[in-house]
Structure 1
Amino acid sequence: MTMTGVSPSTDQDTVGQGGMGLGGVGLGGVGLSGAAQDATEQCPGQGPATARGTTAGTAQAEQTGTGPDRADRADRADRKPAQPVPLRRNLRFQLLWGGSAASTLGLHVTDTAYPLLLLAMTGSSTLAGAFGALQMAASVLCGVHGGSVADRYDRRRVLIAADSVRLLATLSVPLAMALDAFSVAHALLVAVVTGATLAYSGPVRLLAVRSVVAPEQLRQALAQDEARMSGAGLAGPPLAGLLLGAGRAVPFLGAALASLLSLATACLVRFPGRAEPAAPADAAPADTVADEATGTTTGAAAAAKDSGALAGFRHLLADRTLRSTLAVVFGINLVGSAVVLPVIVVLRDQGVSSGGIGLALAGEAVGAMAGALLVARLHRLAGPGALLLAVAWFAVPLFLAPLLPGGAVTVFAALFLMGLGVPALRVMIDILVFQQVAEELRGRVIAATMTLFTVGMPAGLFGSGVLLDHVAPGTALAVLALLLALGLLPATFDRTLRRAGWPA
């Protein structure tokens, strides 16, 4: 179980292996009805704009000098709130959603196909784990710069550039195979390039979703995006196994097609290229609305004044509750990323086919899809800190499930149970962090969050391969379960985290 892509339910182009990237009229926008539609305009990503122009009643009042009652009625008509276009008719959102879905599906396919291919080519678990480790390491190392770029440069161009580079890198693999020139070094180089591009496209996709839906539709958009991530996670692993069975180049041709679709939507959809200016100082109290309810200090207004590349990290680490949250998710991702390779080896040793392994690994995605229906209920049952700890502790004994009889069925069931709580945690991060920060700082905060959540995953991915070269898969799983349990103890005794509440 991992939280990669915590990106709370928005794109999170996921990186590495395992189970954890707002509106105008017309396209994707905020539409109006009746006469008010002609008289008002909606600013992207914000609430209803102030109406401009005059209605017929106002014009008549001005021309005939009628009394104040008619003028008041006309003024109220001018201020009639705009009704947002339903998400299903928001073409910009749906195109971005489709592009993100294609991108995420392609990544899930390759995240499963590369380790299986390298394991078949070399027989080395270390090299199989090295692919995911290098991909994740590149994403982490470029993450700080990716967030800064998202806040300072045209986001749409950044997304197009990142998708283009990833497409070329993916296409190079089947081309090299056709020329009989594919090697382990080539695969590891593709891992580095792919990871680096995700560091730039991930924050931009998160910001793009927010820029093409109305604020009151954001939670609904996040829920739909969660379905995208879960669906891609469900389809990716078994699809990778099936495609690999059809030919070793086939999964990478499919991933290249997915990257092409993602690039096409980035070229077609226009969304705000830069962050809107900060709110005026007299609106600053809104930045601290969540303080009393959560015990956290968002400090968005103060942090927004910091234009440095590390401003996102300073914003996150300045608060005790957020620090504890980051530590717990770091532990989940570190250990969760290391679990996948031992599970693959266990199933392979049991004689399970590549397709069967892929189906077993899809259990977490199925659990996440079911868990998306439980988000509101889980948020009502527990505060964010208690929920985080409960989901993490629930996963500890499940790490040992692959050692039980049942093979792929048991693994599927264990991953399903792990995945149930992941959507609630992703939405929790969005509520506690991303929705509480100023727009001009949001890209760096998203990148900082992604970096801190995933910084340990390269070590987990690579370490699992090294561990498997020295101990049996069952021993490796027991060690990982013990490490997660020990890592959760400090947070479990942190009273501030346990008592944290939801923002008002």
Structure 2
Amino acid sequence: MTATLEGPGTTAVPLRRNRRFQTLWAGSAAAMLGTCVADTAYPLLLLAMTGSPTVAGAFGAVQFGASVLFGLHGGAVADRHDRRRILILADTVRLLTALSVALALAAHRLTVPHALLAAAAIGATMAYGGPSRMLALRAVVPPEQLRQALSQDELRVNGAALAGPPLAGFLLGLGRAVPFLALVLTSALALGASTAVRFDSRPGPRAPADGPEKGAAFAGLRYLFAHRVLRDTVLVAAALNLTGSAMLLTVMVLLREHGTSAAGTGLALTGEAVGGLLGALLVTRLHRGLSPGALLLAVAWTGALAFALPALAGGPAVVFAALAVTALGVPALRVMLDVLVFQRVPEEMRGRAMAGTMTLLMAGLPLGTMTAGLLLDRLPAPTVLVLLATALAAALLPLTFGRTLRGTSWTE
């Protein structure tokens, strides 16, 4: 799975001249931007069609449910079948889904069940295409360029998160079908990249028992939790996702109580994407200066402290700053987890390990939002923020004073 050199006996080309990586990266960027546009355009469309916030929210719930439902199986499929074909199939389904919605809108025939089926299809393509896309990007770069490649990939993720929602709103203002025509275009670009680039897409060798083994889809999770450093890293990242999603809802309520306009709230919430973009530029420096354990604890403790900032002064500027500071170290943490998986998980199990990690991280999003909603029904928003910061800090204390993380290194 190397296939990153120009020819036998040659050295690896610079990443910026690696056409296969840059093509796959551009396709992945298009797919991510399309996902972020869809996450905003579909609920807004359903709200306009029905006037029901419940129906509008159902799109995200169905999409998320499909991603979680098929997530672990998607990793198992990536470890057993040709990953390039999986990626092409997922991008094709995404393209056909977007095209069906655009045509239905053009004919004034779109229904709520059709939109919810689209949500399920998008969630499923994320579950099956996600691990294969991640492995594809990593298959076309040599090991020494992995961190640089993953840092560029973080720019894709955070850039799409920053541009997607406002772009969706702008396109929807031009016409109901316009955002979905844009989704057809982004899906076509992703499919074109997946089709154009060839890479070593064969799964790794399987152990004899790995074929019909019951519960094989959970093998990646079992491996992660059997390795102390990987387990602690995944659990801390999941805790950050859970408390971070709870923080987002809480600061929305806090800003509303302070009389902040909807536009002002939206601008304040972009702090997360801005921090992520800046953090993507710091990945290499943070990895050089800190061991994996030190980096994990530094990012997590920074998040715990930043959660409490809006409780002291809840204006939009403070919320923006708190979200930006929280997100600043997240790209380095995600790249660190990716590097550790590639260093310590056997190749034949990486798809399942990545899928298991993605499923755990995604599960924290609705759980955090639900927890925040229950707390906000009973407590003021500043108190909820302090509780979130305290809970995260309490979870970090055993890891901070333990020896497992402090003794980690990049080369072990």
Decide: shared fold, TM above 0.5: yes
**Structure 1 residues 160-186: Cα deviation after superposition (integer angstroms, max 9, x where no partner):** 111122223334444444455556555
Comparing 382-391 with 480-489, which one deviates more in the overlay? 480-489
d(CA) in 2 for partners of 1:31 and 1:334? Answer: 43
1:386 shift after superposition: 2.8
CA contact (8 A) 1:112 1:240 kept: yes
Do the aligned residues in 2 keep the contact of 1:102 with 1:261 (CA within 8 Å)? yes
Cα separation, partners in 2 of 1:480 and 1:108, compared to 1, 3 Å = farther
Distance 1:122 1:400, change over 3 A: farther
Is the CA contact 2:283–2:331 (under 8 Å) kept in the aligned structure 1?
Answer: yes
Output the CA distance in 2 between the equivalents of 1:469 and 1:186: 34
Q: Deviations over 1:117-141 (max 9, x none)?
A: 56676564x6665543432332122
CA distance in 2: counterparts of 1:89 and 1:481, whole angstroms? 44
Which residue of the partner structure matches residue 293 of structure 2? 385
The one-character-per-residue Cα deviations of 1:280-315 (angstroms, maximum 9, x if unpaired) are: xxxxxxxxxxxxxxxxxxxxxxx8974533321221
Structure 1, residues 311-342: CA drift from partner, whole Å, max 9, x if none? 21221111223222222112111222333344
| Partner-residue secondary structure (3-state), 1:310 | helix
Cα gap change, 1:500/1:122 in structure 2, threshold over 3 Å: closer, same or farther? farther
Larger Rg: 1
Q: Partner amino acid for 1:194? A: I
Decide whether aligned partners of structure 1 residues 461 and 113 sit closer, same or farther in structure 2, where only a CA change above 3 A counts: farther
Which residue of structure 2 aligns with residue 352 of structure 1? 261
1:419 aligns with 2:327: yes
**Percent identity of the aligned residues?**
58
Structure 2: gaps (5+ residues): none
- Rounded Cα–Cα distance in structure 2 between residues aligned with 1:497 and 1:323: 11
Matched, 1:31 2:6: yes
1:108 Cα deviation (Å)? 1.9
Q: TM-score, normalised to structure 1's length? A: 0.70
Normalising by structure 2, we get a TM-score of 0.84
Number of aligned pairs? 405
Q: Does 1:217 align with 2:192?
A: no
1:97 and 2:25 are equivalent in the alignment: yes
Aligned to 1:460: 368
Asked whether the 8 Å contact 1:321–1:497 carries over to 2, the reply is yes
Alpha-carbon shift at residue 190 of structure 1 (Å): 3.0
Match of 1:327? 235
Partner Cα separation in structure 2 for residue 243 and residue 271 of structure 1: 35
Describe the shift of the 1:496–1:405 C-alpha distance in structure 2 as closer, same or farther (beyond 3 A): closer
SS at match of 1:153: coil
Alignment of 1:154 onto 2:129: no
Residue by residue over 1:71-108, the C-alpha shift from the partner in whole angstroms, topping out at 9 and shown as x without a partner, is: xxxxxxxxxx4222332232221110110010111112
1:482 shift after superposition: 4.6
Structure 2 Cα separation of the partners of residues 322 and 224 of structure 1: 23
Q: Of Structure 1 and Structure 2, which has the larger fraction of its residues in helix? A: 2
Cα separation, partners in 2 of 1:410 and 1:241, compared to 1, 3 Å: farther
Q: 2:217 is paired with a residue of what secondary structure?
A: coil
1:470 CA displacement: 7.3
Name stretches of at least 5 consecutive residues in structure 1 with no aligned partner.
1-21, 33-40, 42-80, 279-302
- 3-state DSSP class of the match of 1:433? helix
CA deviation after TM superposition for structure 1 residue 493, in Å: 4.4
Matched, 1:163 2:91: yes
1:255 to 162, 183, 207: 183
- Aligned CA RMSD, in angstroms, stands at 3.3
Within a 5 Å distance, the mapping from 1:44-443 to structure 2 comes to 81-115=9-43, 122=51, 124=53, 130-180=58-108, 182=110, 186-277=114-205, 306-307=210-211, 308-344=216-252, 350=259, 352-353=261-262, 357-401=265-309, 404-407=313-316, 409-443=317-351
Give the Cα separation in 1 of the matches to 2:106 and 2:43. Answer: 20
